[in-house]
Amino acid sequence: MNRPNVLIIGGGISGLSTAWWLARCGIGVEIWEAGERPGGKIRTTREQGYLTERAAGLLVNHRPEIDRLVLESGLEAGKSVQPDNLNRYVLRQGQLVRVPMEAPALMTSNLWSWQTKVRLMSEMLIPRGGHESETVAEFITRRFGREVLETTIEPFIAGTLASDVDQASAQAVLPRLTELERRFGSITMGMLVRRFIRRHRVNCAETFSFRNGMSELVDTLGTAPGVKLRSGLKVVSISREGSSWRVVADSTEGRHIMCTPQLVLSIPADNASEVLRETSGELASLVGGIDYAPLAVLHLGFQRNQIRQQLDGTGFLVPRQEGIGFNGNIWMSGLFPERAPEGHALLSTYLGGTRHPGQLDQDDMTMMENVLSGLSPLMGIRGLPDYVRIDRHPKGLPLYHGDYPARIEQIRHCLEKLPGLHINANYIDGVSVRERIFQSMRTANKVSKQIDGRENAQRRRVSAGHPVVPSSQATGI
């Protein structure tokens, strides 16, 4: 029986996307997933008429590669696109204030002082600066001032990435903004140039989910033609054996062993560190040094007439100086249809992160009461919800803190010495679903080139009179 050319450890969005891209290239691929279902933290729940997301609830896309995957995988028909006219709010001195998205609105907004508005409009005059290990706080303060950092960027970093602006690497967390400064000398100038270029492109940026939630994405990728997914296999070790990688996993059915020329690790950093120790102590230490922030998502369903606030936006983020015990609140029923029963609203609140890591230790009732004590006066909520669901993630999101870029460069240097071994997970090159799909494509391209190089080398050996066993037949034990 022929074995696949590539084995992927981990059936989250990174592993599934890598497998999909490889299968599109005609490369045999198998996924070993420790859990009973694929998708990692991505999971949609439908109960009592509410549709909730355990983790990622949408996909913010500006990359044509993601458009291609959605189209070619058959997901296009099930897309649910967020209206582009929704407001974005931030909490400011106890009030929900709209975040201006265009220059004219910026000048009339009461979100910032006139001094900050002048600073924003004159950003093009500020020279390049900074350093490789510059934090988000240092970068934003240098380019736009402290008020912009505290009112908009800090809540964005805390609310969407669970990170601390005083520790997060600007280069890693805000790669598009730091690249604009590097290339154009100014973020404003770079955005103007990019906007002009985008007018000539076919694809446009959009935010979307799927009719049946984000589980539709992972379910489709996991059942794609050419992808073999095996659940319930926990990898316990990997080691080099000749020109292949020997992988050992345990399941309820016993021990499983496979040898493969190409191995992709798409598992959390601590799990990857554990299985890498036999192969490279240095790589295991580097990967194991990546920390995670705990996260919880509290979903609350209300009758629409219980909420005085007009739900005309995506929700709101909370700056840390506001002293509210959660990081942000998303108005999910306003983003996509069929997220709540008719006449009801679904509000999803995000807690924990580096701000409040101990919040996950609260019991369900305490967590709900604490959130309602802050949420109810802000949104004019009367009474109790008719639906409550809490999803806890002790290791929610990896933190790109400290000298993160240098750590990643060291990881890549170690991998260069280990041919056929690849790491593609959300602790490298972005945590969003968009970036996971994009980085998976890049990983698949790298794997494909290595397979082509190996097969070409084998053909050269055959032509020189040295018969070899095809790689697709040399991978099973």
Q: For 74, phi and psi rounded to 5 degrees?
A: 85, 10
Residue 299 and residue 152 share a domain: no
Q: What is the pLDDT of residues 172-192, one digit of tens each?
A: 999 999 999 999 999 988 888
Residue 318 falls within a domain, yes or no?
yes
pLDDT for residue 461 is more than 80: no
Residue 163 falls within a domain, yes or no?
yes
CATH number at residue 127: 1.10.3110.10
Contact between 293 and 397 under an 8 Å Cβ cutoff? The reply is yes
**128 Cα distance to chain centroid:** 29
Residues 6+ apart with CB under 8 A from 329: 315, 316, 318, 347, 348, 349, 350, 375
Residue 181 falls within a domain, yes or no?
yes
Query: What percent of the chain clears pLDDT 90, i.e. is strictly above it?
Result: 86
Place of tokens 């694929």: 38
Which of 149-153, 154-158, 323-327, 455-459 bottoms out in mean pLDDT, i.e. has the lowest?
455-459
Q: Name which residue leads in pLDDT, 470 or 308.
A: 308
Mean pLDDT calculated for residue range 15-23: 98
The token duo for 346 is 């679904």
Residue 409 falls within a domain, yes or no?
yes
Residue 303 and residue 392 share a domain: yes
Contact between 263 and 238 under an 8 Å Cβ cutoff? The reply is yes
Mean pLDDT calculated for residue range 275-281: 96
Place of tokens 């108005």: 331
At residue 441, the pLDDT reads 98
Q: What is the CA radius of gyration of the chain?
A: 24
pLDDT for residue 462 is more than 70: no
What band does 466 get if pLDDT is binned at 50, 70 and 90?
A: very low
Residue 441 and residue 320 share a domain: no
pLDDT for residue 79 is more than 90: yes
Q: Identify the domain containing residue 120 by its residue range.
A: 100-198
Domain ends where: 130, 165, 198? 198
Q: Domain total for the chain?
A: 3
At residue 402, the pLDDT reads 93
pLDDT for residue 370 is more than 70: yes
Residue 393 and residue 249 share a domain: no
Residue 393 and residue 366 share a domain: yes
What band does 130 get if pLDDT is binned at 50, 70 and 90?
A: confident
Residues forming a β-bridge with 103: none
Residue 363 and residue 339 share a domain: yes
At residue 98, the pLDDT reads 94
At residue 4, the pLDDT reads 78
Total number of residues shown for the chain: 477
At residue 192, the pLDDT reads 83
Residue 414 and residue 327 share a domain: no
Residue 331 falls within a domain, yes or no?
yes
Residue 415 and residue 332 share a domain: no
Dihedral angle, C-alpha 322, 325, 328, 329, nearest 10 ° = -120
Q: Name which residue leads in pLDDT, 192 or 443.
A: 443
Residue 414 and residue 283 share a domain: yes
Average pLDDT over the chain, rounded to an integer: 92
Residue 89 falls within a domain, yes or no?
no
At residue 104, the pLDDT reads 77
Mean pLDDT calculated for residue range 286-310: 98
pLDDT for residue 198 is more than 80: no
CATH number at residue 336: 3.90.660.20
Residue 276 and residue 325 share a domain: no
What band does 23 get if pLDDT is binned at 50, 70 and 90?
A: very high
Instruction: Give the C-alpha separation, 286 to 288, whole Å.
Output: 5
The token duo for 217 is 């994405």
What band does 453 get if pLDDT is binned at 50, 70 and 90?
A: confident
At residue 457, the pLDDT reads 53
Residue 406 and residue 276 share a domain: yes
Strand order in the sheet with 244-251: 234-241, 244-251, 254-260
Domain ends where: 198, 225, 240? 198
Mean pLDDT calculated for residue range 346-351: 98
Residue 313 and residue 271 share a domain: no
Residue 94 falls within a domain, yes or no?
no
pLDDT for residue 78 is more than 70: yes
Instruction: Give the C-alpha separation, 76 to 157, whole Å.
Output: 30
Residues forming a β-bridge with 230: 32
At residue 106, the pLDDT reads 79
Instruction: Give the C-alpha separation, 405 to 394, whole Å.
Output: 24
Domain ends where: 140, 165, 198? 198
CATH number at residue 222: 3.50.50.60
Q: What is the pLDDT of residues 201-259, one digit of tens each?
A: 445 689 999 999 999 999 999 999 999 999 999 999 999 999 999 999 999 999 999 99
224: left (phi over 0), alpha (psi -120 to 50) or beta: beta
Instruction: Give the C-alpha separation, 317 to 324, whole Å.
Output: 10
Residue 95 falls within a domain, yes or no?
no
pLDDT for residue 355 is more than 60: yes
Instruction: Give the C-alpha separation, 249 to 7, whole Å.
Output: 12
At residue 464, the pLDDT reads 46
At residue 391, the pLDDT reads 98
